[in-house]
Structure formats: structure tokens, C-alpha cells
Amino acid sequence: MANPSTTIDVSRIIKLSIAVILLGMFTVLGVILGLAKNLPSIEQLENYDPDLVTRIYSADGKVLEELFVQKRVFIELDKIPTHMQNAVVASEDRRFYDHWGLSLRSVARAVVINTLSMSYRQGFSTLTQQLARNLYKSVGFEDSVVRKIKEVITAVQIERTYTKDEILEMYLNTVHFGHGTYGVEAASKRFFGKESNDLSIDESALLVGLLPAPASYSPIHHPDRAIRRRNTVLRLLRDQEYIQKSEFEEYRAMTLESVRELPRQGIAPYFTEYVRRTMEKIDEILEVNIYRD
């Protein structure tokens, strides 16, 4: 015959466990809903409008000067080389086309690696999470659990709002490459003096290699690090079968001779300064910001 006290104890434990689980679920849900209130709305996500460069042209069509807060030149995805797109996916988020904003496999791998090493050695941000952080200041940049939750919520919303190609296009037009440049077109012109559709595979790999830490991997200030990082990206392209082994060997032997150390200097500085000051005075009348619109 069963002991009544034993039966009662088991019943209480089961009920208590269910209550704790439900309480935990509601607490997590409450935290998520609370954080979501301060994040970009669907309307904001659908009306993506990045800051762009304002150019001053001469009468014969030459660019005299560029005005900007963050140097960014928007370019459509079909004008960005396929090898640049492949390099970003291979290096930053190899499962980009399979996940819905969060890669559970990457999360699990990061948890195992960080737990075993007793330190933060492996991140798990997807390309879409990085885009969420780059586009919306409300997500934040601080290293915290709260920021990660905000990042995931916004990334999922982005995935529901845009196609993968649109997400990749936005990422390549907003990501920071260092030296004041944002987006692949601005970076290509800053580092190589050419449009992004003229980039070679090794140049694309060099630019993508900057993304984890633009200052640390700058080909101008740290050329040796930049080459090592570029070759890591090339290896990832080879391992994921985006390039052949022979191409990997060819491009990893390339030097940094094509990298420009100094940015392009403005033409007619006195005239462009006059134009800038005049435009600033009529900013309110035009209802534009010459450094952003």
C-alpha cells in the first residue's frame, strides 16, 4: 500500500515545478515584450533610409567634394561582385540562407566553446543580427544579455520584413570598414580607388577581413595583420567551395600594393567650403540635412 505522505509530496513537487516553469515563461515573455517596445516598429523597418553622402559637382561633372557624417554610398546588390557577397557569407554567417535571424547551431557552439574556455571567445551573431545593430541605435552596442535579446528580436523582424537578398544588400551598404567608411562602395573607393564592381577576389577578401575589427586589421596601419586576416577569408571561401584551391594559392600570394594610404583630396577647396556654408544656411528652408540626406 502506497504511503499517503509520499504521494502528497510527489504531487506538491510536480505542481511546484509546473508553477516555476510557468512563472519563468511569463517572466521571459514580459521581458521580451518590454524590450520590444523600445525597438524599431514594422513601419520603421519597412522604411529603411540610410544616411548618404552629399556631393558637390563642377560644371563639367567632376566631384569637387563630399559632405557626410558617415561616408556611405548606396549601391544595389546586383552591382556588387558575387565574390564579395560570397566572402561576407562565408566569413560572417555561413548559414545565412538557412536561418530566420538566429542560428541555434551557432548559439550552441558558442555556449560550448565559451563554457570550456571560461571566457568569451566565440560570438554567435548572424549577419541579420549585425545589421540590426548597425541600422538601429535603439538595439545598442554594449556587451550585455539585454542587448543580445534586442538584437535577436529586431533580427527576426527584419527577416520577416525583407528577403535574404535585400538583407544582404542593406548589410553591404551599412557595415563599417574603418577609416570613416561605411558600405562596400565607399570602402572600395577609399582603399583601392575604384568602384566595388571592379574589385578582385583578393581585394574583396581583404575588405571582408576588416569587418570583425576594422582598426586592428587596417591594411594601412597593420598590413601584416590585414594579409593574415585576408588569407583566412580566402581559406573560408575555398573550404566552402566558392573558389578553387588554385585560386586560393594565387590570391593568398598577393601583396597590398593596390591599397591607397591617403584618401582622395578635394578639388577647389575654397569654392566647396563656400558652397558648404551656403547650404548650411538654407538647410532649414530646404528641409534637408546636407550631411545625411
Q: If DSSP states are collapsed to H, E and C, what string results for the chain?
A: CCCHHHHHHHHHHHHHHHHHHHHHHHHHHHHHHHHHCCCCCHHHHHCCCCCCCEEEECCCCCEEEEECCCEECCCCHHHCCHHHHHHHHHHHCCCCCCCCCCCHHHHHHHHHHHHHHCCCCCCCCCHHHHHHHHHCHHHCCCCCHHHHHHHHHHHHHHHHHCCHHHHHHHHHHHCEEECCEECHHHHHHHHHCCCHHHCCHHHHHHHHHHCCCCCCCCCCCCHHHHHHHHHHHHHHHHHCCCCCHHHHHHHHCCCCCCCCCCCCCCCCHHHHHHHHHHHHHCHHHHCCCCCCC
Q: How confident is the model at residue 27 (pLDDT cuts 50, 70, 90)?
A: low
Mean pLDDT over 19-41 rounds to 60
- pLDDT tens digits along 97-117: 999 998 888 767 766 776 676
What is residue 293's predicted lDDT score, i.e. its pLDDT? Answer: 45
Bigger pLDDT: 116 vs 164: 164
- Exposure string of 173-188, with b = 16+ CB inside 10 Å and e = fewer, is bbbbbbbbbbbbbbbb
- Is residue 216 scored above 60 in pLDDT? yes
Q: Please check whether residue 209 is in contact with residue 254, taking contact to mean a CB–CB distance below 8 angstroms.
A: no
Statement: the pTM of the whole predicted model exceeds 0.75:
no
What is residue 147's predicted lDDT score, i.e. its pLDDT? Answer: 74
Tell me which range, 145-159, 164-178, 259-273, is most confidently predicted by mean pLDDT.
Answer: 164-178
Kindly state the percentage of the chain with pLDDT values over 70.
Answer: 59
- Is residue 68 scored above 50 in pLDDT? no
Q: How confident is the model at residue 51 (pLDDT cuts 50, 70, 90)?
A: low
- Is residue 96 scored above 90 in pLDDT? yes
Bigger pLDDT: 288 vs 214: 214
Least confident of 125-134, 144-153, 245-254: 144-153
Q: How confident is the model at residue 47 (pLDDT cuts 50, 70, 90)?
A: low
What residue has cell string 558648404?
276
Q: How confident is the model at residue 128 (pLDDT cuts 50, 70, 90)?
A: very high
Nearest to 184 by CA among 200, 193, 192, 173: 173
> What's the rounded Cα separation, in Å, for the pair 125 and 101?
9
Please name the fold of domain 52-92+164-286. Penicillin binding protein transpeptidase fold (1.10.3810)
- Exposure string of 55-74, with b = 16+ CB inside 10 Å and e = fewer, is ebeeeeeeeebbbbebbbbb
Mean pLDDT over 259-273 rounds to 60
Mean pLDDT over 115-121 rounds to 62
> What's the rounded Cα separation, in Å, for the pair 289 and 283?
6
CA distances from 54 to 29, 85, 287 (A): 44, 26, 14
Mean pLDDT over 69-93 rounds to 88
